[in-house]
């Protein structure tokens, strides 16, 4: 499977706070890659570099083999990069379907309404289509965030603690959803604190520690 996202020797941080010190990792299509590490290790910082919210002082980011290290966030989105956030970022006053429609229109997809219908079905959200996103239980709202990225044409998806706020039943369903997205050929990079979920679904796992990404000793999924 082709490598969709490459991070090569990235060094980045904030004024007087060095965080990443030469990180390299790859995410391929049809693979679910886990990213773990203690609080403050720099996981979200790495996502910010990949998305273009933070410019690295050294190193490169490639999407689908294209250099995007200096590309604007919206250009990366056009190239198929999607992201969810640790703190939910759905449009609360819009319905679930409207949330997706905004993304599908912004992506300029051929038939936005069709893209929305397909994505709602894909994530098992059809019954919630007309529901105000701001009133959803957290676990469902996290699926809406993922659906919105997919409706926007994401092929590389960065998930920031997607299981937080989910109950046990929701977690089992979510694991199945992740496997289905992987089977569809998406390249998935997931920050996650639930190590049982990581060990269950991830093909490979990196641990972020002291500014470097190292393969973690979690048994990968079959
Ligand atoms: N805007 C900022 N300005 C200055 N320092 C920041 C900023 N954002 C994050 N940091 C610092 O950068 C370091 C890495 O933070 P980051 O949020 O990337 O860690 P994380 O691994 O995602 O942690 P968590 O698991 O708690 O979300 C921390 O020391 C944090 O305090």
Query: What CATH code is carried by the domain that includes residue 196?
Result: 3.40.50.300
d(CA 148, CA 56): 27
Co-location of 146 and 162 in the same domain = no
**Burial of 212 by CB count in 10 Å (0-12 exposed, 13-18 middle, 19+ buried)?**
middle
Q: Give the end of a domain, one of 154, 181, 197.
A: 154
Co-location of 68 and 6 in the same domain = yes
User: For position 170, what pLDDT does the model report?
Assistant: 86
User: For position 222, what pLDDT does the model report?
Assistant: 46
Co-location of 116 and 217 in the same domain = no
Question: From atom 13 of ligand 1, which residue's Cα is the shortest distance away?
Answer: 40
Co-location of 160 and 132 in the same domain = no
Q: Give the end of a domain, one of 106, 133, 154.
A: 154
Co-location of 127 and 89 in the same domain = yes
Q: Cβ atoms within 10 A of the Cβ of 144, count?
A: 26
User: For position 139, what pLDDT does the model report?
Assistant: 86
Q: Which residues constitute the domain of residue 99?
A: 85-154
Q: Which of 35, 40, 87, 212 to mutate to test the pocket of ligand 1 (most atoms within 8 A of CB)?
A: 40
Co-location of 94 and 189 in the same domain = no
Residue 38: φ, ψ to 5°: -70, 170
Query: Which among 138, 162, 163, 142 is positioned nearest to 99, based on CA atoms?
Result: 142
Low-confidence ranges of the chain (pLDDT < 70): 109, 218-222
Question: From atom 9 of ligand 1, which residue's Cα is the shortest distance away?
Answer: 45
Q: Which two tokens stand for residue 95?
A: 């319905």
d(CA 112, CA 58): 38
d(CA 74, CA 85): 16
User: For position 220, what pLDDT does the model report?
Assistant: 54
User: For position 4, what pLDDT does the model report?
Assistant: 97
What residues are in contact with ligand 1 under a 6 Å CB criterion? 14, 17, 19, 37, 39-45, 86
The whole-model pTM stands at 0.92
User: For position 219, what pLDDT does the model report?
Assistant: 55
Q: Give the end of a domain, one of 115, 138, 154.
A: 154
């Amino acid at each position: 499977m082709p490598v969709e996202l490459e991070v090569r020797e990235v060094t980045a941080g904030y004024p007087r706070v060095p965080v990443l010190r030469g990180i390299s990792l790859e995410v391929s299509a049809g693979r679910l890659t886990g990213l773990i590490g203690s609080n403050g290790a720099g996981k979200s910082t790495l996502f910010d570099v990949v998305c273009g919210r933070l410019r690295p002082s050294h190193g490169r980011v490639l999407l689908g083999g294209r250099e995007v290290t200096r590309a604007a966030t919206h250009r990366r989105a056009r190239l198929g990069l999607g992201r969810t956030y640790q703190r939910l970022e759905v449009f609360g006053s819009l319905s679930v379907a409207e949330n997706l429609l905004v993304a599908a229109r912004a992506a300029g997809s051929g038939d936005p309404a069709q893209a929305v219908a397909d994505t709602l079905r894909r994530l098992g959200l059809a019954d919630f289509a007309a529901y105000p996103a701001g009133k959803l239980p957290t676990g469902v709202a996290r699926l809406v965030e993922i659906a919105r990225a997919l409706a926007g044409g994401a092929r590389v998806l960065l998930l920031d603690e997607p299981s937080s706020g989910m109950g046990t039943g929701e977690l089992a369903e979510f694991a199945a959803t992740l496997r289905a997205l992987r089977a569809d050929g998406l390249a998935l990079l997931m920050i996650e604190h639930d190590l049982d979920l990581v060990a269950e679904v991830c093909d490979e796992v990196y641990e972020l520690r002291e500014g470097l990404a190292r393969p973690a000793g979690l048994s990968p999924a079959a």
